[in-house]
Chains A and B, each alone.
Chain A
Amino acid sequence: MPLIISCTRLAVGTCSIRSFLCFILPSPQVKFRLIVILRFICTIFISALAVPALAESPPQKIDLSQFPADTIDRVIVPVPSEVFGVLDQLGNPNWQSELGPARTYPASPNRAQVALLLGTIIADGFVAVEAEDAERVKKIGRNVLTLAEAINVRKSVVTRSNSIIEKANARQWNAVRREFDGALQDVHQAMVELDDEQLAQLVSLGGWLRGTEVLTSIIDEKYSQDRAELLYQPLLIDYFNQQINQMSARLRGNPLVEEIQESLQRIGPLIKKSPADNISSETVTEINSLSAKIVGLIRARAG
């Protein structure tokens, strides 16, 4: 402790230099240099002692039950490009063959269907970016705007839509990925402001379903345990199920939402298989057919 105090005083310059070292130093110039060096060393020494004292290490183990599960808004839902990027590393997926139908979808009067469709279209945008298909990306960017208009959030995504088109023209793919992510957030925020948070949840759900369809299709094409592990998403299945359960009776009673809930209940046990490498090729095919069926239904009701 006396050493620490002496070092502190020397480092901050509150101790008498003469009383500390002067009597052993040969000349004023050497003394000055040594004092500067000594102060520097003492400062580092004190910093090294102070940092761990300020912040103890986090515990090696925590009890997760102390964090309530009812805070469902504290869940990070990944964007499709997070998993698509990993797929790229595990092989060379044929993204072009994963692009959805080339048509532009009109809006229907069914707002729940429009919200789900908007989610699938934004996910299509991420696929088109992986395929580096600028024309398709631009088309999707315009379709996002049409659908956003039908659920009163056009104003919030106009800038995004223009930016998607502009950056696709410049083939700035990372920037386009960010814009699609931004479009998702803008739609979500605008819907929350309109008191339509439940519709916003359907946008996320639509995006996840289409992302899962594409993911399973690519894994199915060339199965490996490393690829199949990407499907291990128990958190997201629980999160979406919980969101549907908390929706209004009117929205839960929407035939499309009912179909989705039923499919999620079937996909859940398949995706939650643990350890994650237990997800077999047959399981991947099954998840693909369930997600593709739902995405097909969402598109079919577009009018």
Chain B
Amino acid sequence: MNFSSLHLRSLVGAASLAALLLTLPQALAYVDDALSFAYEAANPYSQRGWIIREDAWGGDLGKGEKEAVTAQLFRGNQYIFFLATDEDTTAIRVSIYDNKGNLTDAKSWQSGRFAYAEIKPRATGTYHAIIEVISSAEERSGWALVYGFKKD
């Protein structure tokens, strides 16, 4: 290996690292923004007796893509899921399915950058919150999900 190829590799390496360092905070930032919005959506519910969990899940999705967050839910509780996106041109949805992939009777609705799903599980077990981007002007949209629960 001569000096120039080593030098070139170092330059490429440094450029890749710089690119990573430049894009990583942006990637994290949009999930952070979405998370702030998700907590904003949840906030009024904590004043209505819901216990809002501090744990949260997030990522990014393109239009038409879906992602699953799996949860152990207990019969006897009510649960509410708050989904938010950092993009104001993006419409999102969260739907709750049981462990066989059947849509539950959860009530779900959307409002601007927010989507909600509220469920009273008929049985204790595994459920799936399916997150999807319905429409968006953006290539990808950051999302964050938080949830709360209260006694039925």
SS class of chain B's interface: helix, strand, loop or mixed?
strand
Chain B residues, Cβ within 8 Å of A184: 54-55
Surface stretch bound by B, among A21-29, A114-122, A226-234, A247-255 = A226-234
Task: Name the residue among B100, B132, B149 with the largest chain A CB count within 10 angstroms.
Answer: B149
Q: State the Cβ distance, B24 to closest chain A Cβ, in Å.
A: 14
Do A77 and B123 touch across chains, with their CB atoms under 8 A apart?
no
A61 within 8 A of B: yes
Instruction: Determine the distance from Cα of A96 to Cα of B131 in the docked complex, in whole angstroms.
Output: 41
A:52-87 near B, CB below 8 Å: 54-55, 58-64, 66-67, 71, 73-79, 81-83, 85-86
Counted as pairs of residues, one from A and one from B, with CB atoms less than 8 Å apart, the total is: 115
- Choose among A62, A74, A78 the residue that contacts B69 (Cβ–Cβ < 8 A): A74
Q: State the Cβ distance, A87 to closest chain B Cβ, in Å.
A: 8
B110 within 8 A of A: yes
Please, what's the 1-or-0 string for B89-112, where 1 marks a CB less than 8 Å from any CB in chain A? 001010101011111000010100
Instruction: Determine the distance from Cα of A61 to Cα of B76 in the docked complex, in whole angstroms.
Output: 25
Do A89 and B67 touch across chains, with their CB atoms under 8 A apart?
no
Chain B residues, Cβ within 8 Å of A82: 74, 77, 149
Chain A, Cβ-Cβ closest to B99: A64
Do B54 and A58 touch across chains, with their CB atoms under 8 A apart?
no
Do B125 and A58 touch across chains, with their CB atoms under 8 A apart?
no
Do B151 and A232 touch across chains, with their CB atoms under 8 A apart?
no
Surface stretch bound by B, among A137-145, A175-183, A280-288 = A175-183
Chain B, Cβ-Cβ closest to A181: B54
B75 within 8 A of A: yes
A174 within 8 A of B: yes
Do B97 and A62 touch across chains, with their CB atoms under 8 A apart?
yes
Known: A74-B68, A74-B70, A276-B123. A86 touches B54 (CB 8 A): no
Instruction: Determine the distance from Cα of A276 to Cα of B76 in the docked complex, in whole angstroms.
Output: 14
Number of interface residues of A (CB under 8 A): 42
A236 within 8 A of B: yes
Chain B residues, Cβ within 8 Å of A62: 97, 101, 103, 130
Q: State the Cβ distance, B93 to closest chain A Cβ, in Å.
A: 6
Task: Name the residue among A78, A88, A229 with the largest chain B CB count within 10 angstroms.
Answer: A78
Chain A residues, Cβ within 8 Å of B147: 76
Do A89 and B76 touch across chains, with their CB atoms under 8 A apart?
yes
Chain A, Cβ-Cβ closest to B97: A62
- Which residues of chain B have a CB within 8 Å of any CB of chain A? 51-55, 57, 66-72, 74-77, 91, 93, 95, 97, 99-103, 108, 110, 123-126, 128, 130, 132, 134-135, 147, 149-152
Interface CB pairs A-B, < 8 A, 19: A54-B135, A58-B95, A58-B103, A61-B103, A64-B128, A67-B66, A67-B67, A67-B128, A71-B68, A74-B57, A74-B67, A74-B70, A78-B71, A78-B74, A229-B75, A230-B74, A234-B126, A236-B72, A276-B124
